[in-house]
Structure 1
Amino acid sequence: MLLNLITMSSSSSNPSNSSSSAPAKLPLKPIPGDYGVPFYGAIKDRYNYFYNQGKDEFFKTRIQKYNSTVFRTNMPPGPFIARNPKVIAVFNAVSFPVLFDTSKVEKRNVLDGTYMPSTSFTGGYRVCAYLDPSEPNHASLKRFLLSLLASRHHKFIPLFQNHLSDLFLNLETEISKIGKADFNTSSDDMSFNFVFSLLCGSESTSLGSKGPNLVAVWLTPQLAPQITLGLPKLLSFAEDFLLHTFSYPAFLVKSTYKKLYDAFYESSASVLDEAENSFGIPRDEACHNLLFLACFNAFGGMKLLFPTLIKWVGSAGENLHRQLRNEIRAVVKENDGNVTFSALDKMTLTKSVVYEALRIEPPVPFQYGKAKEDMVVHSHDAAFEIKKGEMIFGYQPFATKDPKIFENPEEFVGHRFVGEGEKLLKYVYWSNGRETDDPTVENKQCAGKDLVLLVSRLMLVEFFLRYDTCTIDVTTVSSGTSVTFRTLTKAS
């Protein structure tokens, strides 16, 4: 886990142009905001962020206070656990893309923001996601991961279709028995099994149905500084102390991680052979990176993305459902009843709906980078100087809903990226890069970007080949969005 380069007309595909090509005549202003009283200012901001205001309101009030989408603030977790909670926030699309420019910002150890979990959680290795492209291991590891995904290309569609069939049958069974179906649990099970099968080349026989829970146990102590449990406000002090003050040691989940590691190691012998023989990566290091890619990046992303996608599409109503099923069924019929890459590419509305879901609620909301040099970044109406070593922070949901780029930015518009709307894709940044860019060994864009787009489209295609419409209930929980199906109307 972006929107507004309206003043940067010709720089849509080159992230290095994200700041330098903005208008030179914009006034240079000091960055507004401060970090408060040392130590206590960060704690105050942490309480406002988690408990008093919530993250969106926390950011909105500062934008309004400073009348600027670039400002200084503390980002939780704050004292003790963080190296340094002080950041420069960039919340507009003109300045946001500087976070993709690895010639200007360092992406070393910033995946989780202002802190980094112990490498003991990942077998003692700094896995690829924590490496800056300038580090020697980054190129070999990312090249290995990109090669692995490319070699599985022919399996993407049939394998995901098989797992989706199981998902839909589970949902139908639940509805017939109790009148409703929990989408999240079934989706999590499907997603983990699909990812494991795809990357390892076999089913997770040793893990059985425990995979998603094991991943959750392993990830929780690493991500605890970023979350809140939604407990009553009276308990906020206790929760804050337990979650946001200290790092949790990896030995708490050592046995859990070993179960995951052993399952991946045993099931991916040919993958690890390839890593060792073709890329010079030790088997142990390759396996830890494979596990991280599968469980943190791929499964973790799908765990957030699929409920969000279904939430927005399900809530959009019958009109969008009719348009989607008509497009999907017509294209598949023209393709002799087959769902192929070329068929998916012809479904312009379906593609647009997926882009719109990623725009309005990107699965990874935060981006960080440390300035490698003194630089000037631009908002729509001003320029700001950032010094070498300062941490830059971007909140993607604000950038991708920049009103100077998108009309009705808070509204889910399924056809937003159809026809002329395709020109707006350069402002969709969910993958740690522009939608118009591709992941390479030189950048930090998500290696599985194309796979994420594919499975999201396939989710809609298989859904509307099977069903005409649906009704859902949506609730917000501490882990994100929870979706419950009330009805699934079979295709007529």
Structure 2
Amino acid sequence: MAVPSSKLPLKAIPGDYGVPYFGAIKDRLDYFWLQGEEQFYRSRMAKYNSTVFRVNMPPGPPISEHPQVICLLDQKSFPILFDVSKVEKKDVFTGTYMPSVSFTSGYRVCSYLDPSEERHTKLKQWCFEVIAMNGRNFLPEFHKSIEESMVLWETSLAKGEKTSVSDEVKQFAFNFLMRAVCHHDPAAPGEYSLGRNGGPYATAWANPQLAPIAGQTGLPHVVEELVLHTVPLPSALVKKNYDALYNFIKNYATEALDRAEAMGIERNDATANLLFFLCFNAYGGFNIFFPLITILISSCGPELMHDLHDEVTKAVAATDGKVTLQSIENMPLVKSVVYEAFRFKPPVPYQYGKAKFDFTIENHENSFEVKKGEMLYGYQPIVMHDPKVFSDPDQFLPRRFMGPDGEKLIKYIFWSNGYETDKPTTANKQCAGKDLVVTMARAFVAEMFLRYKEYTLTMEGAGNATKVFFSDLKK
């Protein structure tokens, strides 16, 4: 029996999985349709009076044969998911199921590997080197790409047309990543040109892999349940999209791929991993986060926007009017706004890990025994709203992380599969591009408020089908 690590009362984990097969189906229907994601968790927290409980996680059968998890919804229990000495991270990137490797040229890419696997060490070290090799490119290419989209936004508004934040994020996020790492413009003419299809291709390729856990796509509920949550979608549906992305990277990311081969990584393996790293991890995260932070800033009204504009313009005055690493470090409000957005609605909401042996976990009130082989799961949007750590957790407070007390709270942001103050290594599963992602998020806010003093938004649709539009941009 595992020995409790503290004097907290040792209690049995509440909750159950219901009747085999049918219990998982019931939980899936609750999750997507009868309760919705947020209420699904909160109703069980209230029922069991606990932030730790047993439940089935979508998609459940037949896509995942073992959907049973121990759910962790507080800041004290959740970090066990970072401890790879206690939990295995093999094939749990998307949860209790794993998409077919046919989506990635037959390779299990780095995100699905456990740190104990030799390929993980090589591939993650290579990721670090790819980022370092191209470090000087990211901010200039980002500026160039977002400026192109800003011109299109302004041109559309002048014509009285819709100006889609969501669609243009697909363009500049994809373009800057490819230009920075592959050193080639994806829209440039040529045999492997992607035109303006690069971002949409990446989205189309990623969506079937996430379809089993996706809800509110805009389809009728019955169709969504039967088509997306009952059988996995085949990679053949997006083979054309994948091949176009693969061929672009294979032909233009030669510096990164040469480095992979020098490290003993087979070239096709490296190509599949670089595609996943750029088009799923990085692009997919930016595609979610940039529209989100645009919405959150807008919700605070003009005063915050004007303060951001003033801070950015003053900071770049010392760097020839450009957003640089130096100027970004002189924007404390921008930094706080970005971290508050990561806290308020993390772009990576789910984390999983399988217990390697028997041990105990703790929430704020009790300790619980976990058995070897049990799946642990955490839902960050609730964990990041833990009132034991964050005051007024359900309010977006843009200055939350400013000043000495605010800086201390940065540690408790977990979006990257680790404490924000930790560093990713080959021995852990923290996002290899953690620091780059935060820097580019801060650059996004800085570039927006260097050009604009204020904006207003309109939104269409709901859930994952929501689209964001600018209705006004003021310089």
TM-score by length of 1: 0.92
* Counterpart for residue 302 of structure 1: 286
Structure scoring higher RCO (CA < 8 A, sep ≥ 6) equals: 1
> Structure 2 vs 1, CA of residues 321 and 391 (structure 1 numbering), >3 Å: closer, same or farther?
same
> CA 1:231/1:183 → structure 2, altered by over 3 Å: closer, same or farther?
closer
Question: Residue 294 of structure 1: CA displacement?
Answer: 0.7
For residue 367 of structure 1, give the secondary structure of its aligned residue in structure 2: strand
| Aligned amino acid, residue 283 of structure 1 | R
In terms of mean alpha carbon deviation, does 262-271 or 29-38 score higher?
262-271
Unaligned runs of 5+ in 2: none
The 2-side partners of 1:312 and 1:385 are apart by 39
Describe the SS at the equivalent of 2:60.
Answer: coil
Q: Structure 2 matches for 1:138-153, cutoff 5 A?
A: 138-153=120-135
Deviation digits for residues 138-195 of structure 1 (CA, Å, limit 9, x no counterpart)? 0000000110001111112111111111111111111111254111101111111111
Asked if the contact 2:380–2:414 (Cα under 8 Å) also holds between the matched residues in 1, the reply is yes
1:183 matches 2:165: yes
Q: 1:452 aligns with which of 413, 424, 437?
A: 437
Residues 231 and 254 of structure 1, relative CA distance in 2, 3 Å threshold: closer
The one of 379, 390, 397 aligned to 1:413: 397
Corresponding position of 1:369: 353
Query: Pairwise mapping of residues 352-391 of structure 1 onto structure 2 (< 5 A)?
Result: 352-391=336-375
1:203 aligns with 2:195: no
Q: Does 1:43 align with 2:30?
A: no
Q: Matches of residues 338-487 of structure 1 in structure 2 within 5 Å?
A: 338-419=322-403, 420-475=405-460, 477-479=462-464, 481-487=466-472
Identity %: 47
Per the alignment, residue 311 of structure 2 pairs with 327
Q: Is the 8 A contact 1:93 1:400 kept in 2?
A: yes
Q: Report how far residue 66 of structure 1 moved.
A: 0.3
- Amino acid of the residue matched to residue 237 of structure 1? V
> Aligned pair in 2 of structure 1 residues 27, 66: CA closer, same or farther (>3 Å)?
same
The answer to whether the 8 Å contact 2:70/2:375 transfers is yes
Distance 2:465 2:364 in 1: 31
- Supply the AA of the counterpart residue of 2:131: L
Offset at 1:355? 0.3
Counterparts of 1:237 and 1:479, CA distance in 2: 17
The residue matched to 1:153 in structure 2 has which SS? Answer: coil
Cross-structure match for 1:15:
none
Deviation readout 1:368-419 (Å, 9 max, x if unpaired) = 0001111111101110111110000000000001011111111111110001
- Given the superposition, is the C-alpha separation of residues 163 and 261 from structure 1 closer, same or farther in structure 2, using an over 3 Å criterion? same
**Equivalent pair of 1:42/1:79 in contact (CA under 8 Å):** yes
- Aligned-partner Cα distance in 2 for 1:480–1:395: 21
Separation (CA, whole Å) in 2 of partners of 1:236 and 1:480: 13
1:193 to 2:175 alignment: yes
User: What is the CA–CA distance in structure 1 between the aligned matches of 2:438 and 2:48, rounded to whole Å?
Assistant: 37
Please give the alpha-carbon distance, in whole angstroms, between the structure 2 residues aligned to 1:23 and 1:102: 18
Partner Cα distance (2:137, 2:240) in 1:
32
User: Structure 1: which amino acid aligns with 2:393?
Assistant: P
- Corresponding residue for 1:225? 212
Structural RMSD (CA): 1.7
Distance change >3 Å, CA 238–CA 464, structure 1 → 2: closer
Say whether the 8 Å CA contact 2:359–2:370 is kept in structure 1: yes
Q: Count residues with an aligned counterpart.
A: 468
User: After the TM superposition, which residues 6-25 of structure 1 pair with which residues of structure 2 at under 5 Å, given as runs?
Assistant: 24-25=6-7
Letter in 2 for 1:467: Y
> 1:106 aligned to 65, 68, 88, which one?
88
1:71 is the counterpart of 2:75: no
Q: 1:12 maps to which residue? A: none
Q: Give, in angstroms, the shift of residue 309 of structure 1.
A: 0.8
Q: CA deviation at 1:485?
A: 1.0
The answer to whether residue 151 in structure 2 is matched with residue 169 in structure 1 is yes
Could you say what secondary structure the match of 2:369 adopts? strand
8 A Cα contact 1:467 1:488, kept in partner: yes
Q: Structure 1 residues 457, 481: CA separation in 2 closer, same or farther (over 3 Å shift)?
A: farther
- Structure 2: how far apart are the matches of 1:196 and 1:247? 29
Distance 1:68 1:211, change over 3 A: same
Structure 1 CA distance for aligned equivalents of residues 47 and 366 of structure 2: 16
**Letter paired with 2:358:** D
SS at match of 2:259: helix
Deviation track 1:291-346 (CA, whole Å, cap 9, x = no partner) reads 00011001111110100010101221111112211211112123443432122112
Partners in 1 of 2:414 and 2:271 — Cα distance?
29
Give the SS at the match of 1:280.
coil
TM-score by length of 2: 0.95
Deviation for aligned residue 1:23: 7.1
CA–CA distance in structure 2, aligned partners of residues 477 and 166 of structure 1: 28
- 2 CA distance for matches of 1:287 and 1:193? 18
Measure how far apart 1:251 and its partner are: 2.5
User: Aligned residue for 1:89?
Assistant: 71
Unpaired runs of 5+ residues, structure 1, are 1-18
Secondary structure class of the residue paired with 1:423 = helix
